[in-house]
Amino acid sequence: MTGSALAALRGAQAMVHEVMAPTPLRRWPLLSARCGTDVAVKHENHTPVGAFKIRGGIVYMTRLRQRAPDTTGVCAATRGNHGQSIAFAAARVGIAATIVVPHGNSVEKNRAMVALGAHLVEAGHDFQAAFEHARELAAAQGLHMLPSFHDDLVEGVASYALEMFDAAPELDTVYVPIGLGSGICGVIRARDALGLATRVVGVVAENAPAYALSLAEGRPISTNSADTMADGMACRVPVAAALEEIMAGAERIVTVGDDAIAAAMRHYFSDTHNIAEGAGAAPLAALLQDGPAVAGASAGLILSGGNVDRDVYAAILAAA
């Protein structure tokens, strides 16, 4: 990438840092011992909404207010963290937010979005159905339809990758969970803009393998379902623009099962006393699955969020 690409990412990073402090990058001895290698955890579970998505929301909504100052309302679909991000950032710039979630969505994520000022609508059986309803609702009510993947979102979330690489440019491999792709694309852009050789490995759930299938085929492959406890990775229709960046910049995509994700959630608690939601724990599950193949190499793990319902988390901890 050119110097202008890095300048653009640094500009977005400055926008994010006007609102929130950088999150920690920490090495936990028990976790490194469990993985058999040096491990650095990027704690996006420590942001003001408990997930990395807030970064993209800040940049998108700030720029939307600048380029379309008459905007009075936005509409977005989410499983929770994107919606919290938009509700938070929209309120900050004085724009109303309507957030559509599927039926059966996380109760606590729903409550958090409402507390942040969002008007919450439940529609559809999964994220894709909720997204299609949100698009119809935005058209009917004259709202700005907010995409789940956009350059402003990617540049915003790339700020966590810049923080990570500024602190630890020596990392050999970084494991990143994939929902719709903004997180991993942000890591790829930051790595390339900084001229680093770090390998980027995407992680998807076994029951939501759309991006893994798409990478293998070299084109977007949709699935009929995305039934995983890691709701942040429950994608069944990949975004073509995100896939293009992943194909160009990721080394590979690892698929992990729900049992392995649940075990990783327990490991995070026992080894670091941090709460990780399913998507946040998936990179650790992938690193443990890789095992001896990465022995002796340093690994970065994106703990992308800690927003898991209390009853769900209690059951996972009790299953140990």
Distance of CA 247 to the CA centre of its chain: 18
300/39 Cα distance (integer angstroms): 6
What letter represents residue 16's amino acid? V
Residue 297 has a pLDDT of 86
Residue 31 contacts residue 267 (beta carbons within 8 Å): yes
Three-class SS state of 301: strand
Beta-sheet strands, E only, within 147-268: 173-177, 199-205, 252-256
Q: What CA–CA distance (Å, rounded) separates 83 from 86?
A: 5
CA distance 40 to 84: 26
Residue (of 156, 131, 125, 123) closest to 75 by Cα position: 131
CB distance 23 to 163 below 8 Å: yes
Is the CB of residue 102 less than 8 Å from the CB of residue 122? yes
Quick one: tokens of 263?
């075990």
Domains of the chain from N-terminus onward: 3-52+151-318 (3.40.50.1100), 54-145 (3.40.50.1100)
| Token pair in block for residue 260 | 């392995």
| CA torsion through residues 130, 184, 168, 257, sign | positive
Tokens 């896939």, residue? 243
Taking the model in full, what pTM does it have?
Answer: 0.94
Distant-in-sequence, close-in-space partners of 60: CB < 8 Å, separation ≥ 6: 86, 89, 146, 150, 152, 153, 156
Which tokens hold the place of 207?
Answer: 């029951």
One-letter identity of residue 281:
A
Instruction: Answer left, alpha or beta for residue 273, where phi above 0 means left and psi between -120 and 50 means alpha.
Output: left
Residue in this structure with the two tokens 């704690």, named with its chain if needed: 43
| CA diameter of the chain | 56
Q: One digit per residue, pLDDT tens: the chain, 320 residues?
A: 568 999 999 999 999 999 999 999 999 999 999 999 999 999 999 999 999 999 999 999 999 999 999 999 999 999 889 999 999 999 999 999 999 999 999 999 999 999 999 999 999 988 889 999 999 999 999 999 998 899 999 999 999 999 999 999 999 999 999 999 999 999 999 999 999 999 999 999 999 999 999 999 999 999 987 789 898 898 888 999 999 999 999 999 999 999 999 999 999 999 999 999 999 999 999 999 998 777 678 999 999 999 999 999 999 999 96
pLDDT, residue 1, reads 52
Task: Classify residue 305 by burial, with Cβ atoms within 10 Å: 0-12, 13-18, 19+.
Answer: buried
DSSP code for 233: G
Contact criterion met (CB below 8 Å) for 201 and 251? yes
